[in-house]
C-alpha cells in the first residue's frame, strides 16, 4: 500500500497504527443543520489524500470530494438538501440539486419536464432524491490491499407503473486516488419499463477554471440548441465566471478501445489537478457535456448515460429509448480517477491520443 511517498506492507502498517481509522476508513454520521438535517452521510478516507462523501439518504450519490484539501466537485448554492424537500414537478428538481461529484438522473426519465399519461415526469427524474435501503459499509484487507466498500439498494417504484431497483456498490482503495462505481438496475415488476439513467458528474473550481480543458477522445460534437451553437468552438475551454451566462450543452461521440471502454476528463495543468471518468460505451452509449460558466453556478458536467437529457418522448421518437423487461438486469461500471501530478496528466493525454489513432 502506497502511503506518504512510501510502499508499506500490510504488516508494516499494522505495526505503526493502533486503529485503521488513523490513516483510512469510513465514518458514518448524520447532518444536523438547515435543509440538510437528517441526511445520512458516509465519509471515505483512503490515505492517499483522496476523501469523499457518499449520501445513502440520497441514492448513494457522491457529494464532496477532495484531494489533499483541494475540492474536485461542485456544490450548488442550495447545499446538501434532505430528500423530504424534493419537489417532483416541472424544474423544481433544481431546488434540491446538490451538485456533487455524482448526481444520478433517472431511472425512467432524464431531461426536461413532460407528461406521459397520468404521470408528471419532472426534470431528470426521481432517483437522486430517494434514500437507499440495506446500506452496508466495510473496511477490510484483501490480501495486501485495503478495500473500502459501500453498498445499498435504491427502489424507484409506484403503484400502476415501474418497480426498478438500483443496487449500487462503491469501492475505494487504501493509498489510491480512484473510486469504482458498480451499478445493477433490476426490473422487479411485471411489465416492460423505460430505463433512462445518466451519471451527472459535476466538476467545479479549482479543477474547473479559465486555465482548464476538457480532454476526451472526441470524434464528433453537436450542440443541443442555438445557445450551445454559439460556444461550440470553445466547448473544451472554460471562461472565468461570466455575468448573464446561459448554460450550454454538447453531445459528443467518443472513440473506444477494443473492449468498448472510453474516458473523459477535465484537466487543470496550472495546478496539476484533474478528474478522469472511465466507462464502457456498450453500457452507456451517450456522453453529454454541460457547461455553465455563470457566477456561483460555475460548473462543468461530465454525463455518460444510456440516453441524452432530452426526455422520454424524444428518446422514444428517435428510437433510442431503452426498456428493461420483467426480471431483466442492466449492469454499469464507472471509474473516477483523480490526477494529481504532471506525469499522470500527460499519461492520460497520451492514452487519449492512442484511442484517437484507432480511427
Confidence of residue 63 (pLDDT cuts 50, 70, 90): very high
Q: Please state which architecture CATH assigns to domain 2-357.
A: Distorted Sandwich (2.70)
- Per domain, the residue ranges of the chain are 2-357
Nearest to 1 by CA among 110, 144, 104: 144
pLDDT, mean of residues 345-352 = 98
β-strand pairing of 286-293 with 273-280: unpaired
Please state, rounded to an integer, the average pLDDT across all residues of the chain: 97
User: Residue 138: which H helix or E strand, with range?
Assistant: strand 133-142
Confidence of residue 20 (pLDDT cuts 50, 70, 90): very high
Confidence of residue 125 (pLDDT cuts 50, 70, 90): very high
> What pLDDT does 168 receive?
98
pLDDT, mean of residues 269-274 = 98
Q: What is the pLDDT of residues 207-227, one digit of tens each?
A: 999 999 999 999 999 999 999
What span, in angstroms and rounded, lies between the C-alpha atoms of 211 and 213? Answer: 7
C-alpha triplet 247, 75, 266: angle, nearest 5°: 65
**How far from 314 is each of 65, 113, 175, 217, 274, CA to CA, in Å?**
34, 12, 44, 27, 34
Confidence of residue 108 (pLDDT cuts 50, 70, 90): very high
> What pLDDT does 344 receive?
98
> What pLDDT does 328 receive?
98
Nearest to 132 by CA among 175, 161, 180, 169: 169
Name the H helices within the chain.
Answer: 10-16, 226-230, 312-318, 342-357
In percent, the amount of the chain with pLDDT more than 70 equals: 100
Amino acid at each position: 500500500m502506497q502511503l506518504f511517498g512510501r510502499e508499506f506492507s500490510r504488516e508494516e502498517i499494522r505495526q505503526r497504527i493502533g486503529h485503521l481509522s488513523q490513516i483510512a476508513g469510513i465514518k458514518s454520521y448524520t447532518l444536523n443543520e438547515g435543509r440538510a438535517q437528517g441526511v445520512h452521510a458516509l465519509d471515505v478516507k483512503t490515505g492517499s489524500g483522496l476523501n469523499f462523501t457518499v449520501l445513502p439518504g440520497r441514492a448513494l450519490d457522491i457529494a464532496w470530494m477532495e484531494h489533499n484539501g483541494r475540492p474536485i466537485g461542485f456544490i450548488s448554492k442550495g447545499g446538501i438538501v434532505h430528500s423530504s424537500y424534493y419537489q417532483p414537478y416541472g424544474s423544481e428538481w433544481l431546488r434540491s440539486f446538490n451538485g456533487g461529484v455524482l448526481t444520478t438522473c433517472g431511472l425512467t426519465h432524464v431531461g426536461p419536464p413532460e407528461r406521459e399519461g397520468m404521470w408528471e415526469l419532472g426534470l431528470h427524474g426521481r432517483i437522486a432524491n430517494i434514500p437507499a435501503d440495506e446500506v452496508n459499509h466495510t473496511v477490510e484487507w484483501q490480501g495486501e490491499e485495503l478495500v473500502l466498500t459501500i453498498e445499498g439498494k435504491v427502489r424507484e417504484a409506484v403503484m400502476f407503473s415501474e418497480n426498478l431497483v438500483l443496487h449500487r456498490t462503491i469501492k475505494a482503495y487504501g493509498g489510491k486516488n480512484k473510486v469504482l462505481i458498480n451499478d445493477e438496475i433490476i426490473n422487479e415488476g411485471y411489465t416492460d419499463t423505460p430505463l433512462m439513467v445518466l451519471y451527472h458528474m459535476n466538476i467545479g473550481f479549482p479543477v474547473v477554471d479559465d486555465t482548464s480543458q476538457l480532454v476526451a477522445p472526441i470524434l464528433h460534437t453537436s450542440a443541443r440548441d442555438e445557445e450551445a451553437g454559439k460556444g461550440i468552438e470553445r466547448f473544451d475551454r472554460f471562461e472565468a465566471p461570466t455575468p448573464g451566462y446561459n448554460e450550454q450543452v454538447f453531445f459528443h461521440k467518443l472513440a473506444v478501445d477494443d473492449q468498448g471502454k472510453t474516458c473523459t476528463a477535465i484537466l487543470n495543468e496550472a495546478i496539476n489537478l484533474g478528474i478522469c471518468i472511465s466507462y464502457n460505451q456498450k453500457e452507456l452509449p451517450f456522453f453529454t457535456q454541460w457547461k455553465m460558466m455563470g457566477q456561483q453556478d460555475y460548473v462543468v458536467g461530465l454525463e455518460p448515460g444510456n440516453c441524452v437529457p432530452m426526455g422520454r418522448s424524444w428518446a422514444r421518437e428517435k428510437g433510442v429509448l431503452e426498456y428493461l423487461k420483467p426480471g431483466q438486469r442492466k449492469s454499469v461500471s464507472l471509474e473516477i480517477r483523480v490526477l494529481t501530478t504532471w506525469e499522470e496528466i500527460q499519461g492520460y493525454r497520451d492514452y487519449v491520443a492512442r484511442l484517437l489513432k484507432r480511427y
